[in-house]
A and B are shown apart, each in its own frame.
Chain A
Amino acid sequence: MAKVTIPLGEWRPDMANLDTQVATDVDGVLPEQISYQPLPDLAAFSNIALPTGPPCGLTAARKADGSWTIYGGSPTKLYRWALGGWTDVSRTTGGAYNVPFSIGQRWRFAQFGPNLIAAGGANDDIQYINVDTGSNFAVLAGAPRATNVATIGDFVVLSGLVPGFTFGGVNTALRQVAWCAINNCFGWSVGLNLCDMNEFADGGLVQQVLGDVNGYVVQDRCIRTMQFLPGDTTYVFQFSKALVDHGGTSKYGSALVGNVLYTVTEAGFFAIAGQQVSAIGQDKVNLWWLANSEQSKRDVVQCISANRPFIIWAFHTAGSSQDYYDRVLIFNWNLQRWAKGSIKAYVWALLGSLGLDLDTDGAETGDPLLDSTAQPLDSFAYVGGRPLVAAFNPDWKLATLDGPPLEALMETVEMHLVPGMRAMVNDVYPLIDAPTTTVSAGTRERLQDLTDWGDAMPLEITGSCAVYSSGRLHRYRIHTTRGDLWSHAMGIIVDPQQDGTVA
Chain B
Amino acid sequence: MDFYDDKDELLGDIPLSENQVEQLRSGVPLFIQYRTPQLLRGGAHGDHAGTFELTMAGERIRTDDAAAAADCIKMLQRIRSSGNGQGHDTAG
Q: Which residues of A contact B (CB under 8 A)?
A: 125, 139-145, 164-171, 180, 184, 186-194, 196-199, 233-236
Closest residue on chain A to residue B75 by CB atoms: A191
Q: A164-B86, A166-B82, A235-B38 are in contact. List 11 more A-B contacts (CB 8 A).
A: A141-B91, A142-B91, A167-B87, A169-B79, A170-B40, A184-B19, A184-B20, A186-B17, A192-B34, A197-B38, A199-B39
Decide: A169 and B37 in contact? CB cutoff 8 A: yes
Contacts of A125 in B (CB 8 A): 88
Q: Which of B15, B36, B38, B39 contacts A189 (CB 8 A)?
A: B15
Quick one: CB contact mask for B66-92 with A, threshold 8 Å, 1 for yes? 000000100110111111111111111
Bound form: Cα–Cα A111–B89 in Å: 22
Work out how many contacts link A and B, with CB atoms closer than 8 A. Answer: 115
Q: Which of A141, A165, A234 contacts B86 (CB 8 A)?
A: A165
Bound form: Cα–Cα A167–B90 in Å: 9
Contacts of B18 in A (CB 8 A): 186
Decide: A171 and B83 in contact? CB cutoff 8 A: yes
Decide: A168 and B39 in contact? CB cutoff 8 A: yes
Given contacts A142-B15, A169-B80, A187-B17, contact A192 B33 (CB under 8 A): yes
Q: How far is the CB of B85 from chain A (nearest CB, A)?
A: 6
Tell me the interface secondary structure of chain A in the complex. loop
Residue among B15, B37, B40, B87 having the largest count of chain A Cβ atoms under 10 Å = B37
Bound form: Cα–Cα A141–B33 in Å: 20
Contacts of A199 in B (CB 8 A): 39
Bound form: Cα–Cα A233–B79 in Å: 17
Decide: A169 and B17 in contact? CB cutoff 8 A: no
Closest residue on chain B to residue A192 by CB atoms: B34
Q: Which residues of B contact A (CB under 8 A)?
A: 14-15, 17-20, 31-40, 45, 49, 72, 75-76, 78-92
Decide: B33 and A194 in contact? CB cutoff 8 A: yes
Decide: B15 and A170 in contact? CB cutoff 8 A: no
Contacts of B88 in A (CB 8 A): 125, 141-145, 165-167, 188
Closest residue on chain B to residue A190 by CB atoms: B37
Q: How far is the CB of A311 from chain B (nearest CB, A)?
A: 34
Given contacts A143-B92, A184-B17, A189-B92, contact A197 B86 (CB under 8 A): no
Decide: A170 and B39 in contact? CB cutoff 8 A: yes
Q: How far is the CB of B47 from chain A (nearest CB, A)?
A: 9
Q: How far is the CB of B21 from chain A (nearest CB, A)?
A: 10
Q: How far is the CB of A35 from chain B (nearest CB, A)?
A: 53
Decide: A141 and B84 in contact? CB cutoff 8 A: no
Decide: A168 and B37 in contact? CB cutoff 8 A: yes
Contacts of A189 in B (CB 8 A): 14-15, 76, 90, 92
**Could you write out 15 A-B pairs with CB less than 8 Å apart?**
A141-B90, A142-B91, A143-B88, A170-B37, A170-B83, A184-B19, A187-B92, A189-B14, A189-B15, A190-B79, A192-B14, A192-B76, A193-B32, A194-B33, A236-B38
Q: How far is the CB of B23 from chain A (nearest CB, A)?
A: 10
Closest residue on chain B to residue A199 by CB atoms: B39
Decide: A198 and B39 in contact? CB cutoff 8 A: yes
Decide: B35 and A168 in contact? CB cutoff 8 A: no
Bound form: Cα–Cα A235–B38 in Å: 7
Bound form: Cα–Cα A233–B91 in Å: 22
Residue among B15, B85, B92 having the largest count of chain A Cβ atoms under 10 Å = B92
Contacts of B92 in A (CB 8 A): 140-143, 180, 186-189
Closest residue on chain B to residue A193 by CB atoms: B33
Decide: A234 and B38 in contact? CB cutoff 8 A: yes
Decide: A169 and B33 in contact? CB cutoff 8 A: no
Decide: A169 and B49 in contact? CB cutoff 8 A: no
Closest residue on chain B to residue A164 by CB atoms: B86
Q: How far is the CB of A161 from chain B (nearest CB, A)?
A: 10
Q: How far is the CB of A259 from chain B (nearest CB, A)?
A: 25
Bound form: Cα–Cα A104–B15 in Å: 35
Decide: A142 and B90 in contact? CB cutoff 8 A: yes
Decide: B33 and A166 in contact? CB cutoff 8 A: no
Decide: B17 and A191 in contact? CB cutoff 8 A: no
Given contacts A191-B35, A199-B39, contact A168 B86 (CB under 8 A): no
Given contacts A140-B92, A142-B15, A198-B39, contact A170 B82 (CB under 8 A): yes
Contacts of A190 in B (CB 8 A): 37, 79
Decide: A196 and B38 in contact? CB cutoff 8 A: yes
Q: How far is the CB of B16 from chain A (nearest CB, A)?
A: 9
Bound form: Cα–Cα A144–B90 in Å: 10
